[in-house]
Structure 1
Amino acid sequence: MKKELFSILETITGNGSFETSGVLSFVPPGLSIKGVGEVAFPLTTTQAKAIVAKARQAPFGKGSQTITDTSVRKVWEIDPAMVTIQNPAWTNVVLSILQMLREGLGLGDVEISASLYKLLLYEKGGFFLSHQDSEKEKGMFGTLVIGLPSVHEGGQLLVSFGGREKAIDFSSAKSFEIPFAAFFADCEHEIQPVTSGYRLCLTYNLLQKTKKSPIGVSDFSEQTKRLATFFKTNMAKIEEEWPKIILLDHQYTPANFSQASLKLHDRPRAAALLEAAEAAGMFAKLGLLTHYQSGELEIEYDSRRSRGRRWRGYDDDYDNEDLENGSMGEVYDEYSTLEHWAEDGIPGLGELSFELEDHIWSKTELGAGEPIEKAAEGFTGNAGMSMEYWYHYGAVVIWPQAAHFDILSEATGQVILDWLAYYTRNIKNTSIRPKKSIEQLLTQLSETINAGHKIKAADFSPFAHALVLLKDPTHLETAQALLVHGFSKIDVTAWLALARHFSPKALTGVFEEVGKAGKVKKMMQALKVLSAFEAEKKADFDKFVQQELAKLPERLQHIPLSKIEEDRYSLFEERKENILSIVSSLLHFGAYGKLEKSWTKDVLGLLIEPMPRKYANDILASALLKRDYTESELSKQLREICMADLEKRTAEKPMPPADFTRIIPQNADNSKNWTEILVPFLSSPTQSDYHYVANESLRKDMESTIKYSGADLRTETIAKGRPFTLRIIKTQASFERLLAEWIEDTGLLGKLKMR
């Protein structure tokens, strides 16, 4: 079956090649280099030497590292920030080249641009060993090289892909011509040594402007029909091991992967596969298969001078250069995963792992050739040197509708919700049985929650919208636990849709459980939903709001509003914003007018007990100053309490310490650092610093003691003599902190008085 499939695919070819090149008539670029001036063409030796004086040796990428190694790459580079193209006509030159390479590379109508990357100068002996370009910026799919008139010999550009190689020689261009070459980023290429003169060129990153341009298949309708027949005839025979992953020719980085970024034959072949699968009643999705290998690091010494000489020993007779030039020896571990999916089309299947022979269909061996990512590591403890390879293959993933729910049974909650959203959007597409599919997915999600498992997902709104589409109160009842679980991640519009369709009263049980949960995020969302319900101005909505607001004082007892401190700053900021939202909502409902007078008293008590400074300032005062509520008895009393608190805190302005006596922190213990040195030093009214002469371990221990004590002390090391001296200096940190707080409190008090 594989052979038949690929025989059909091989008849589908793109219009272009893996590379393209050409020559244009010379147009002066008006090239000016900072520190050199305007460059005349053809390039003179004098100006070439001036460029070298301002340039640097070009590095190259090795895994996550950037390395400068003239045994791998020997060329001078100038950053684009130092380069100015003064002739406006040069823009038209680049546009003309882009038009030609769009056809040469088979890009169709995809909108592309060129971003200047470097000015490169190869002098005699300059070269660059075979390599692949990394994708240096978002949307990059290839490289464009434009040669500038410069007399030289050698320096051929060799570009290869899939066993084919093309040689491009800029040295043959005349002095009144501009040669250019372009190729895809995953092509192997090298610059052979320049034997005389200078080779000057501009390199550009080729960028794809739009990611969602469609792939056209109009020229391959016959092959698409054959593929659809193939799927209908053969795929029904396969009972297990779904989905099937059909690999394309090229590799892609996850950041720049989309339908529109597909190269050469991959574009029409992927399009034909996707269309044929749909015609055969199957699901198909473009994805990126990652094949990982780890194994022995095989070192090749000086790859230019000693080709083929390799070493696999386990002593330390190697250096960083050898390590970075290494390759994969014996493979110890390898596996394939699929977790990156194109944004276009149907949802993906989440992260999948595969045994090679079970699911992946490829016409070439996985892991052959150069990977798109690799990383080497030297000796670590008793472990030998290792190499890791990552291959990222474009692929079309295909599976029948009959196997769809078996596959999704292992999927994450987010994937299930994505598919719920898909079926909801396509509710009228009877070929995918949307209603039955929604019911199955709802059941799967509900069973997961009822079994005590959590579902991690960014947005539960598709679940709510699916319930509305089914129009069945039974589903709403069985889904209550899931609605509670995902309450804060269901947007307000989805809650409104549920209430409008089933009535607000139908959500009473959900709100009851949310209230008991005592979770800040859920309470914040509940108040937002109640605000939206209030805005409906309908009797049943109004009754529900009144009922839920009456229960708020009791439910808020489970939420410590004044506790906004968290160990991690990100959590602190998130919790602070959520509690601020709750307080703002309470101020809004303070003017509701249909609540008992005791409600204001009860809510006020919960808001102000306790009332630490940060909570009072960052939450209560901030909410009062937002001005997005109608004045009420609650807001008036809360403002008076906050102002009284601020007046008390600002009654006396902090004063600097009168002498050098400093407070001994509460965490001071009976250790030698405290009893013999720090306590006497802090208690001294005249001593401003202390010189602690001790060995390094004792100095570090003292620094750690001071750092975590909170005392008004800082340290500095005096690197003179042996041992060094740790100078301990008294500060006014406590006073400065109190003064800053007083200034802030005074300003806040003024704002509240104006309000």
Structure 2
Amino acid sequence: MSNDAETRFLKTLQSIRGAGRFCVHGSIPFAFPGIRLRSGEELAFPLPPSQARAVRDVAEAAPYGMGAETRRDESVRRCWQIDAAGLEWTQPGWQRTVEDLVKQIAGELGVEGKVSAMPYKLLLYEKGGFFLPHRDTEKEPGMFGSLIICLPSQHAGGALLVRHQGREERVDFGAAHDATQIHYAAFFADCEHEVLPVTEGFRLCLAYNLVVPRGTKTRAPSATANAPELLLPGLRAVAEAAGNDLTAILLEHRYTEDGLSIAALKGDDRARAAALFETAERAGPTARLALVSLYQMGQLDEDYEDSYRSRRSRRGYREDSGAEGEMGEIYEETLTIAHWRTPTDKRDGMGTFAISEDCILSLATLGEGEPDEKFAEGYTGNAGCTMEHWYRRAAIVIWPQDAGPAILARYNFSAACEKFREMAERKSGAAALAPFSAALLDEACRRLGDAADYQSAPVALAVHPLLHGIALSGSEEHLQHMLRPVFLPVFRLADRALWLALLRAFGDKPAVFFLRHTTPANLSSHVNALFHALDAALNAAPELARGMAAQLPSWFVTGEKPDWRFRDESSVTPVHCWHLALAASCLVTAVADRTALENVLWSQGLLPHLREVLGPAFLEKSHRAWFAKSHSLAPALLTATVNTLAAECTRPLPPYPDWSRPVPAAALTAPRWQSGPLIMELLTFMTDPARGELRIRKPQDMRSAVEHFVRDHQFDLDMTTDKKGSPHTLVCRKNDASHQRSLKRRSDDETLLARLRGIEIVGKARTI
């Protein structure tokens, strides 16, 4: 599509106008509001100067928002304010007056649904008062605009200027002063506005937040007459030029992430969105409302008074006069689409798409002009000054109907895989699943093929819902597509639940494929998945479990630690590995394999192994029923474990009879550089039965080396520093910490022994 054709289409779209305006203003007959201050004084109208001063006496200087900060600066804003919570309303009829006014305003702004006006502030501008250009923050959920009601108060100047897209409305409450009238102005929150200086008198206003509560049901916007016919040729050309990609057609107004919905569309956006939705329905493309966000991070081009003092400012969708500093060179830029809504204003969980500028269609360039949000940070540590900008616009995003699965797979692969799994879970038919599966399998193959070895894990994890969905659908065709070497990382990171679904759906085919591609070279990275597969096979595929059990000894004696790149929170613990091996031991028939597995499981009966691994493995219940099967090694190993722990629990643990303390074994094999004269003196002191205290008067670095050595090896020593004299003295006093640890370990052994004795395994035990 040529640039001229794009421009014609966008100008046609721009010519579509809604029923509302960005700013409305006027007057209504005076109604007494009944405002009582906390001082107890009730305001009269027209406002006498004495009461204006009374308001000022109980008010506070009005701040302005700069991001997360609230600032007061009379070069930006001169105004007095009282929070609505600090006012008492004595006239019930005033609320009805406001409600009637809001109904009228909502129609003039073109806002659908029930609109509420929430009292915000009472604002007093005296002579010289003003507020520089700014935008209002959306202060509560559903807020879309502001209502200013100027109460009768004689003044000059103080005109309100409201601007949007090159247009300006001037509202001069002072020039229109009439004691029998109340003047008002209402405008959308993203409109820039300012209050010019008051030149005489006092300007008293009530500020309200205009809100459409979330969940409010509204009529779907309808396109203006002939609008779809005008847009149809251009939209078809846009769709044809994009091919199987998406196009985001930007709307006019600014929206926040929480404030975007079809019901909350402002002014002309509502009419244009309706026209685009109706045109897309005729032309064929799928259409969604979404929020396009441009993020920029770059150099902060600013002259700080104190360059090394970090200062933070944030200009956002707020009452704001401008953040400090401007964007210099841009280092990083991302463009995303998120917060999707269907034409019926329902959420569409498509997630976040990272897109290129080529996908954007707009007469204005996104990223020019003042950003919606701005964050500046000064020097922090070694980092220089940085500036961040956010620009957000609503957009109607279109793409070919049959390209939906491919679009989702390309831009949000994880969400697409998860959607496929959900569809399979709901038992969607093959016709519904086929487009998604084809697009996802192609995209998964491309991503895995492009990923370096160390980058494959995140991609493989994202593919898991797709593989699970294939298992739920039972599609042999799709499974065969995944039984290729490029998909090995997906199986390598599969957990028990995924293996169970695969085995139940396809028998042993997935496991046989994985075993066939498991070699001594990659066993360390495959072993976690092998144990998960065995876990599932013990439940769903006993014959497969038999074949896997014969390989168990090699899984334990690879001589390598599992590869950290392929481990996550679902990794099998050593205790569960031993539990699975105990369960599967009854399936191991070859004498050599049984002997090898028995040696691995027993590990020479070393107490740490029995306490930390084998004993707890017996206590797991998931596959304990297998322990009692014929040829199981579990009964004999349980008996041996109980006997060894029972013998250990009868060994006496007398307290130390003198000052001699054991030297930790690791300390005796410490590196040579740690074995200086002071360390040798320390080791001699530990075995001395007559000495309970060692004093080391040495410089701090030498004392610190001794302290680290003592703590690293858990010596039975308490250490303090005697700071008398120079250098100071490190005082080491012996304690019985190792004996206390032995008593605690004995208690733990007795508890473990009691629990193991409570396990009943019916089987033939033999001596280990």
Identify whether the pair has TM-score above 0.5, normalized to the shorter chain: yes
Corresponding residue to 1:548 among 530, 545, 548 = 545
Say whether 1:442 aligns with 2:441: yes
Say whether 1:621 aligns with 2:625: no
- Counterpart of 2:253, as a letter, is H
Separation of aligned partners in 1, 2:635 and 2:106: 68
The answer to whether the 8 Å contact 1:519/1:559 transfers is no
1:332-377 deviation per Cα after TM superposition (whole angstroms, max 9, x unaligned): 56855225463744857842333xxx44221223223321332334
Tell me the equivalent position of 2:763. Answer: none
Tell me the equivalent position of 1:510. Answer: 513
* 1:672–1:403 distance in 2 versus 1, CA, 3 Å: closer
Tell me the equivalent position of 1:371. Answer: 371
* 1:505–1:314 distance in 2 versus 1, CA, 3 Å: same
Separation of aligned partners in 1, 2:58 and 2:220: 50
The answer to whether the 8 Å contact 1:515/1:555 transfers is no
Separation of aligned partners in 2, 1:263 and 1:490: 48
Shift of 1:246: 1.6
Separation of aligned partners in 2, 1:565 and 1:657: 45
Shift of 1:391: 1.5
- Counterpart of 2:373, as a letter, is E
Say whether 1:5 aligns with 2:9: yes
Tell me the equivalent position of 1:353. Answer: 356
Query: Percent of counterpart pairs with the same letter?
Result: 23
1:661-718 deviation per Cα after TM superposition (whole angstroms, max 9, x unaligned): 7957738666699644896599475448878765xx9998888778767667899999
Separation of aligned partners in 2, 1:132 and 1:654: 78
Separation of aligned partners in 1, 2:79 and 2:695: 56
Corresponding residue to 1:232 among 232, 236, 244 = 236
The answer to whether the 8 Å contact 2:129/2:197 transfers is yes
* 1:551–1:426 distance in 2 versus 1, CA, 3 Å: closer
Runs of 5+ unmatched residues, structure 2: 44-50, 315-321, 342-346, 760-768
Separation of aligned partners in 1, 2:312 and 2:373: 18
Shift of 1:504: 1.7
Tell me the equivalent position of 1:280. Answer: 283
Tell me the equivalent position of 2:165. Answer: 162
* 1:4–1:527 distance in 2 versus 1, CA, 3 Å: farther
1:609-636 deviation per Cα after TM superposition (whole angstroms, max 9, x unaligned): 4878599458953772658854843666
Separation of aligned partners in 2, 1:174 and 1:715: 85
Tell me the equivalent position of 1:417. Answer: 417
Separation of aligned partners in 1, 2:207 and 2:695: 60
User: What SS does structure 1 have at the residue aligned with 2:368?
Assistant: coil
* 1:426–1:530 distance in 2 versus 1, CA, 3 Å: closer
- Counterpart of 1:4, as a letter, is R
- Counterpart of 1:509, as a letter, is V
Separation of aligned partners in 2, 1:379 and 1:435: 54
Shift of 1:480: 0.4
Tell me the equivalent position of 1:250. Answer: 253
Separation of aligned partners in 2, 1:136 and 1:214: 22
Tell me the equivalent position of 1:307. Answer: none
Say whether 1:362 aligns with 2:362: yes
Separation of aligned partners in 2, 1:174 and 1:27: 16
1:394-433 to 2 correspondence within 5 Å?
Answer: 394-400=394-400, 414=414, 417=417
User: What SS does structure 2 have at the residue aligned with 1:477?
Assistant: helix
The answer to whether the 8 Å contact 1:563/1:615 transfers is no
User: What SS does structure 1 have at the residue aligned with 2:365?
Assistant: coil
Shift of 1:326: 2.6
- Counterpart of 1:352, as a letter, is I
The answer to whether the 8 Å contact 2:123/2:204 transfers is yes
1:446-525 to 2 correspondence within 5 Å?
Answer: 446=445, 449=448, 454=456, 455-463=459-467, 465=469, 473=476, 475-481=478-484, 484-487=488-491, 503-513=506-516, 517=523, 519=526, 521-523=528-530, 525=532
* 1:500–1:217 distance in 2 versus 1, CA, 3 Å: farther
User: What SS does structure 2 have at the residue aligned with 1:342?
Assistant: strand
The answer to whether the 8 Å contact 1:661/1:686 transfers is no
Separation of aligned partners in 1, 2:122 and 2:720: 47
Tell me the equivalent position of 1:541. Answer: none
Separation of aligned partners in 2, 1:390 and 1:373: 5
Shift of 1:749: 4.7
Q: TM-score, normalised by structure 1?
A: 0.64
Separation of aligned partners in 2, 1:158 and 1:602: 87
* 1:429–1:611 distance in 2 versus 1, CA, 3 Å: same
* 1:367–1:427 distance in 2 versus 1, CA, 3 Å: same
Moved more, 659-668 or 8-17: 659-668
- Counterpart of 1:3, as a letter, is T
The answer to whether the 8 Å contact 2:553/2:596 transfers is no
- Counterpart of 1:2, as a letter, is E
* 1:468–1:187 distance in 2 versus 1, CA, 3 Å: same
The answer to whether the 8 Å contact 2:546/2:587 transfers is no
- Counterpart of 1:624, as a letter, is L
Tell me the equivalent position of 2:46. Answer: none
Separation of aligned partners in 1, 2:32 and 2:684: 78
- Counterpart of 2:441, as a letter, is L
Corresponding residue to 2:220 among 202, 210, 216 = 216
User: What SS does structure 1 have at the residue aligned with 2:252?
Assistant: strand
The answer to whether the 8 Å contact 1:227/1:273 transfers is yes
* 1:384–1:509 distance in 2 versus 1, CA, 3 Å: closer
Tell me the equivalent position of 2:537. Answer: 530
* 1:407–1:706 distance in 2 versus 1, CA, 3 Å: farther
1:259-318 deviation per Cα after TM superposition (whole angstroms, max 9, x unaligned): 67655544554455355435433344544433345666455xxxxxxxxxxxx7999699
* 1:452–1:673 distance in 2 versus 1, CA, 3 Å: closer
* 1:604–1:293 distance in 2 versus 1, CA, 3 Å: same
Runs of 5+ unmatched residues, structure 1: 32-36, 300-311, 534-543
Shift of 1:378: 4.4
Separation of aligned partners in 2, 1:662 and 1:73: 75
User: What SS does structure 2 have at the residue aligned with 1:522?
Assistant: helix
* 1:10–1:198 distance in 2 versus 1, CA, 3 Å: closer
User: What SS does structure 2 have at the residue aligned with 1:216?
Assistant: coil
* 1:40–1:407 distance in 2 versus 1, CA, 3 Å: same
Separation of aligned partners in 1, 2:214 and 2:491: 38
Tell me the equivalent position of 2:340. Answer: 342
Tell me the equivalent position of 1:303. Answer: none
Corresponding residue to 2:326 among 321, 325, 328 = 328
| Count of aligned residue pairs for this structure pair | 702
- Counterpart of 2:363, as a letter, is K
Shift of 1:399: 3.8
Separation of aligned partners in 2, 1:614 and 1:155: 83
1:178-327 to 2 correspondence within 5 Å?
Answer: 186-188=190-192, 209=214, 216-219=220-223, 223-224=227-228, 226-233=230-237, 235-236=239-240, 238=241, 242-252=245-255, 263-266=266-269, 269-270=272-273, 272-274=275-277, 276-277=279-280, 279-293=282-296, 297=300, 320=311, 325-327=323-325
Tell me the equivalent position of 1:558. Answer: 555
